Structure 1
Amino acid sequence: MSACAVAAVAFSALPSNAAQTTLVVDDDGAQCPNADFTSIQAAVTAASAGSTISVCPGTYNEVVTVNKPNLTLVGPRTPSTCTQPTTPNPTTEAIIQADNPAGGVVNLLENGIRFIRFTVQNNTLGAGIVTSATFSGHRVLQNVVQNNVQGVYFNANGTTASAVDQNCIRQNNQPGSAGGNGVYSDLGLSNATIRQNTFYQNDSSAIVLTGLAPGAVNNVGIDVNRSQEDGSLLAVFNSTGTKVRSNTARNNTGSAIFVGNDNTGLEILSNNISGSARGVRTSTDFGGGPNTNLRISSNTITNSTNTDGISAGPNSLDNSVISSNTATNNLRDGIRIELGGNSGNRILSNTLRNNAEHDCHDDTVGTGTAGTANTWLANSGVTENRPGLC
């Protein structure tokens, strides 16, 4: 089957979106000799809203700015193995690469744009893919995003759902502002999913979600992603109603899930963490107020190499639930609540075993269990810093 036919089949398998026109791009005419354009940007400029741009294999040394609504850009394929990087193949992949001091290699600057099955790489001055906080309905699907300052700079206003799904996002470690992050957001992200991606060796974090004030991150789902050898799977600040579910984190160099300041209603559920420096940690080390009404439940955290399975730093966690987690073989404590604030929490029905210092540890002072400021109930552990916690 020809590369053009592959691209056509790939598009036909996508959900229908009433494309008005299909424009074909080939950089050298080798795979698609009847292509309309040799440049992706030229095709975008010529396209009308709702059109499809089918890009054939090749190397596209250009900045692409998509500023028309409901365009679909689809490439031929991307490699299936993310954690074993190889040199991209321009005879089978559509590779977009450029330095762009003003933004990304690819910039999605309108509503409802779909960007599917490309390799985006080598921006030493910024992100691979940028989505604008002024718009929504972005869909970034099945791409390889590598060797940029940041992988995907993901912002959206939430009018319609946006998604970064099923991508390979790896080794985005070029020096620069917010460098070393796979997905980064700081201008506002609402009504969005980050789902079924593989992250590999992003030195700072696979995902960082933050903003200037509480609620800047709202109603975001972070589900079924895999992080391997990243700084963290996730660092999240200023969020409301965000859910972190069924992710896998392996060998993170920092906290697998770092919960910074002013998160409300955050749910961290059914994640599997192994071999990271720390498991799940709440902290206000960067300023701001405590996290409230969190639910940290049904996670499995093993073999933390630096400190704890689950920990709350000073003044970082109030009126929250830590329940039904398994924390074993961690270098310090299974669950650790540090002195300073951290009151009104319920630590319930956790299984804690073979942690080097304590399975159950609480330094707070109050009218709760064993003189702490929290309630500990039905936890299964052996070692504790105060009788009655396990």
Structure 2
Amino acid sequence: MANVINVPADQPTITAAIAAANTYDTIRVAPGVYHETVIITKIVQLLGAQAGVDATSRGEYAMESIIVSSDTTGSVQIQSDNVVFDGFTVEMNTQWAGIFAPTTVSGYSILNNIVRNNVTGMYVHSNGEKMVQIRNNLLVDNSGFGNAIYASLGMTNAFIEGNYFAGGHSQASINIGGAPGTPNNNLTIAHNRFFRDNSIALTSTTNVLVSGNIMQETQGSSIFFGGATNDTEIVGNVLEGGVSSGIRVTTAFSSGVPNANIVAHDNAIQGNAVAGLDLDTGAYDATAPNLRLDATNNWWGSSSGPAPVGDGDAVIDPDGVVEYVPFLTANPLPTPGAVRTTGPILCTGTDAQSIYVSILNNDLNHQASIQMLGFYLSEGNKSPYVHELFYLSPLTNTTRTYQVQFTSQYEFQFGITGTQDVNIAVWGLDASGNVISSIRLVAEEMASIQMLTPGVP
């Protein structure tokens, strides 16, 4: 029968708990900071204080089990099949990865973790014998090497879903590749959110589904092909506002080996600075039995279609290998709602002690994604102290309360995706919890802005 080992109640460190554990035991780690390299060599469940709690929405003030190490392989090393690593913060590895898994393992699950401020976030691989799951993690500012999730040695049979990439990755948010012939097969990248971060980059991959992702203001091309890919389906994604292209097809990392059999349907591709779809000469092989690049039935930001036939995001196709007609004449996906701000609020008069925020998704059919930022203001500077991303099902409400007594001015901003039918109210509360009438804002009183203030971790 499997046992439960508590850290530090039963064992003083995570490492000691792993040594004491038997196969299939559960190790529960209390909140706190653990300065150790965690090497998992047994089939165990390793559960942090936030196990089961989605890391993309639990906020800044949750009690965390934090692992800090500067190991050159990784702060957390998954060296066994079927490991569950759930509910931690892994941060500040100045030497390499927050989480590492070699090509000799499979079947592991990385769930509900905050991975930040490492040289690279996750350097993970799999032999494909069992499915790997990487779900509901928050990845931010893994900037030394510049990748959030990176696999260069082989990743097979993996599901990357529901993660949030919040910026600071100069190479790629998800970077799967290697030399031609590297086994990167049977991958699903679905329902992730990327806000002002970087690409999904694919090189030497086969049978990849990229579906239902929201990629906004990408600091590169949203979906990037480095060459030697085959059988890629891109369906139902939002690719908008990037500084380069929505989809970019090259042979940059494959010694000139072209890509083949790319299908892209039902995507919302708009507002990208260079193009909606941009192919290098010789980057796509449409020679039979390969298919032409099928980019039909996409929205390019205009009912007239993509340039050169319309005035939407361009299709750049020097070899004439792309099919993009018919195109959609309306956006198939819910458009993002307005970005709203309370503007500066003064803590004057009776002096607000806290701020109460109520958010209602009044849409009957669509989920709302809310990114909320809070700042205190001083001498013209904004200092972030709240950063939350969470989701509201149709006709549901959530509330938040934050302290503001430490500042004379504050501001809250809200980025809304999925529906525009969201009602927000913000109230100031005094020390007794009473509403301050001079600090009360509803949605109609909030200003619309172009984008959320950048630079928030």
| More off after superposition, 183-192 vs 319-328 | 319-328
- Of residues 47, 60, 70 in structure 1, which corresponds to 2:21? 47
Partner of 2:148: 182
Instruction: Give the C-alpha shift of residue 324 in structure 1.
Output: 0.5
Indicate the SS of the match to 1:208.
strand
Classify the secondary structure of the residue corresponding to 1:44.
helix
SS at match of 1:242: strand
Whole-angstrom CA distance in 1 between matches of 2:32 and 2:25: 21
Tell me if 1:349 matches 2:350. no
| Equivalent in the alignment of 2:95 | 125
Alignment partner, residue 66 of structure 2: 95
> Helix, strand or coil: the match of 2:222?
strand
CA gap 1:55/1:303 in 2 versus in 1, 3 angstroms = same
For the pair 1:37 / 2:11, whether they are aligned, the reply is yes
Instruction: Tell me the equivalent position of 1:327.
Output: 300
1:238-249 superposed matches below 5 A: 238-249=204-215
Describe the SS at the equivalent of 2:300.
strand
Whether the 8 Å contact between 1:316 and 1:342 is mirrored in structure 2 is: no
Whole-Å separation in 2 of the counterparts to 1:104 and 1:59: 17
Contact 1:314/1:342, CA 8 A, preserved across alignment: no
1:289 matched to 2:263: no
Change (3 A) 1:214 1:300: farther
Paired residue type of 1:199: F
CA distance in 1, matches of 2:97, 2:119: 5
Q: Say whether the 8 Å CA contact 2:54–2:112 is kept in structure 1.
A: no
Matched AA of 2:5: L
CA RMSD of aligned residues (A): 2.2
**Deviation at 1:346?**
2.7
- The offset of 1:215, in angstroms, is 5.4
Letter in 1 for 2:325: L
Are 1:315 and 1:342, in contact at CA under 8 Å, matched by a contact in 2?
no
**Alpha carbons 1:110, 1:132 under 8 Å: kept:** no
**Does residue 171 of structure 1 match 2:148?**
no
Q: 2:316 aligns with which of 318, 337, 342?
A: 337
1:207 aligns with 2:174: yes
**Partner deviation per Cα, 1:335-369 (whole Å, 9 max, x = no partner):** 42332x453x433311479xxxxxxxxxxxxxxxx
Q: Is the 8 A contact 1:244 1:268 kept in 2?
A: yes
Shift of 1:273: 1.4
Considering fraction of residues, name the structure with more strand.
2
Partner residue in 2 for 1:303: 271
Give, in angstroms, the shift of residue 38 of structure 1.
Answer: 1.7
Distance 2:186 2:279 in 1: 23
Moved more, 307-316 or 249-258: 307-316
C-alpha distance in structure 1 between counterparts of 2:282 and 2:2, whole Å:
55
- Cα deviation for residue 191 of structure 1 reads 0.5
Q: SS of 1:45's equivalent?
A: helix
3-state DSSP of counterpart to 1:37: coil
SS of 1:220's partner is: strand
Output the CA distance in 2 between the equivalents of 1:85 and 1:275: 26
Equivalent residue pairs, number: 314
Structure 2 residue matching 1:253: 3-state secondary structure: coil
Tell whether 2:234 aligns with 1:268: yes
Distance 2:271 2:103 in 1: 39
- Partner residue of 1:11? none
Equivalent position amino acid for 1:22 in 2: V
**TM-score w.r.t. length of structure 1:** 0.76
TM-score by length of 2: 0.65
Partner of 2:247: 280
In the other structure, the counterpart of 2:157 is 191
Can you list the C-alpha shifts for 1:114-165, whole angstroms capped at 9, x where unaligned? 0000000000100000112111001000000000011111100000000111
Unpaired runs of 5+ residues, structure 1, are 1-18, 27-34, 354-390
Q: Contact 1:215 / 1:240 at 8 angstroms: preserved in 2?
A: no
Structure-2 separation of matches of 1:293 and 1:162: 25
User: Which of 52, 55, 80 lines up with 1:110 in the alignment?
Assistant: 80
The SS at the match of 1:43 is: helix
Q: Which amino acid aligns with 1:170?
A: V
Indicate how the Cα distance of structure 1 residues 185 and 290 shifts in structure 2: closer, same or farther if over 3 A, else same. Answer: same
Unmatched runs of 5 consecutive residues or more in structure 2: 287-291, 331-457
Q: 1:303-326: per-residue Cα shift (whole Å, max 9, x none)?
A: 11x210112121112322111111
Q: Indicate if the aligned counterparts of 2:170 and 2:198 stay in contact, CA closer than 8 A.
A: yes
Q: Give the share of equivalent positions with the same residue, in percent.
A: 30
